[in-house]
């Protein structure tokens, strides 16, 4: 395989087309237990991270919002309540199983009719230029094969003055925390995956994909290169998670 045809799937080097299929298989496998595992893995703290993202988005009544890799709809549900009937919320995910789980969850909460559902690849988003006020992607960017293409695609469809929020696992800020986090990630996560979701391999990939994801400063630089005028990031839980916020000029 030529170097430009390959990418990372966790710690493995694979063909880019192969990564797309492998990531799809992971999320087809974990979709049904995704919410339960999120609560277990993060001890429920993922809800605080997502709430902080919602608050920093500044979404108001009438806004147009796109949640990419929106999975089971946590952010989309909050946005639907905030934008009101005159706003627009689109839940997009490349994975059909995750999109179905998210749609069913939102219907159960009485919000299904307030959200549009689109199966889409973040690298080539099927929306017009300058359309959305806010775009979010939570714990999804690390699974994208061509992150630069995805960031450029998001920048294109944001309105001038619009905001992109990238919530993602990142690099812990202390050596001690980093060592403890490694131990937890590579020992506990696969075991939880095996016991709860009957799938240790997918959660081994999760731990590996987090380590291969760009750190805080690298992702900030990538967002600036993609055309965002300003980019700031906020470390949470000691840098285990970071929220990057980029504004389009």
Q: Which domains does the chain show, CATH number per domain?
A: 18-173+204-247 (3.40.50.150)
* Residue 44 parent element (H or E): none
Residue pair 190/207 in contact (Cβ under 8 Å)? The answer is yes
Q: How many CB atoms lie within 10 A of CB 248?
A: 22
Q: If we measure between CA atoms, which residue out of 128, 184, 143 comes closest to residue 28? A: 143
pLDDT digits (tens, 9 = 90+) for 11-28: 777 678 777 776 677 666
The answer to whether 113 and 44 are in contact (CB under 8 A) is no
The answer to whether residues 223 and 151 touch, using CB atoms and an 8 Å cutoff, is yes
Q: What are the backbone angles phi and psi of residue 50, rounded to the nearest 5°?
A: -70, -35
Counted residue by residue, the chain has a size of 249
Chain centre distance of CA 49: 12
Q: What confidence score (pLDDT) does residue 1 get? A: 44
Tokens 């919530």 map to which residue?
Answer: 167
Is 200 a known ligand-binding residue? Answer: no
pLDDT at 26: 67
HSE value, Cβ hemisphere, 13 Å, CA-based, for 125:
29
Distance between CA atoms of residues 169 and 87, nearest Å: 30
Which residues of the chain fall below pLDDT 50? 1-2
pLDDT score for 172: 94
Write the pLDDT tens digit of every residue in 200-235. Answer: 888 888 888 888 899 999 999 999 999 999 999 999
Beta strands in the chain (DSSP E): 6-9, 12-15, 64-68, 88-93, 115-119, 132-138, 158-169, 230-236, 241-247
Max CA pair span of the chain: 50
Predicted local confidence at residue 9, as pLDDT: 65
Please state the φ and ψ torsions of residue 133, each to the nearest 5 degrees. -80, -35
Nearest to 231 by CA among 142, 159, 164: 164
pTM value is 0.88
Q: Is 122 annotated as a binding residue?
A: yes
- The pair of structure tokens assigned to 33 is 């237990």
- The pLDDT score that the predictor gives to residue 16 is 81
User: What per-residue confidence (pLDDT) applies to 127?
Assistant: 98
Nearest to 140 by CA among 119, 122, 164: 122
Quick one: pLDDT at residue 139?
Answer: 92
- pLDDT at position 2 is 47
Q: Is 121 annotated as a binding residue?
A: yes
Q: Is 80 annotated as a binding residue?
A: no
pLDDT of residue 94: 92
């Amino acid at each position: 395989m030529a170097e430009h045809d390959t990418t990372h799937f966790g710690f493995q080097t694979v063909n880019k087309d192969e990564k797309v299929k492998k990531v799809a298989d992971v999320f087809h496998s974990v979709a049904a237990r995704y919410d339960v595992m999120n609560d277990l893995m993060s001890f429920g703290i993922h809800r605080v991270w997502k709430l902080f993202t919602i608050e920093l988005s500044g979404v108001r009544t009438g806004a147009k919002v796109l949640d990419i890799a929106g999975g089971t709809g946590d952010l989309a549900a909050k946005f639907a309540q905030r934008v009101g009937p005159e706003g627009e919320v689109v839940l997009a995910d490349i994975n059909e199983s995750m999109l179905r789980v998210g749609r069913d969850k939102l219907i159960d909460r009485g919000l299904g009719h307030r959200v549009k559902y689109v199966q889409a690849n973040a690298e080539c988003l099927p929306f017009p230029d300058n359309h959305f006020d806010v775009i979010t992607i939570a714990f999804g960017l690390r699974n994208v094969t061509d992150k630069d293409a995805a960031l450029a695609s998001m920048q294109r469809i944001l309105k001038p003055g619009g905001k992109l929020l990238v919530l993602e696992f990142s690099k812990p800020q202390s050596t001690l925390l980093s060592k403890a986090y490694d131990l937890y990630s590579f020992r506990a996560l696969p075991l939880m995956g095996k016991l709860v979701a009957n799938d240790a391999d997918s959660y081994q990939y999760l731990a590996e994909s987090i380590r291969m994801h760009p750190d805080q400063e690298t992702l900030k630089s990538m967002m600036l290169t993609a055309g965002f005028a300003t980019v700031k990031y906020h470390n949470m839980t000691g840098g285990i998670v970071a929220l990057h916020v980029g504004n389009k000029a």
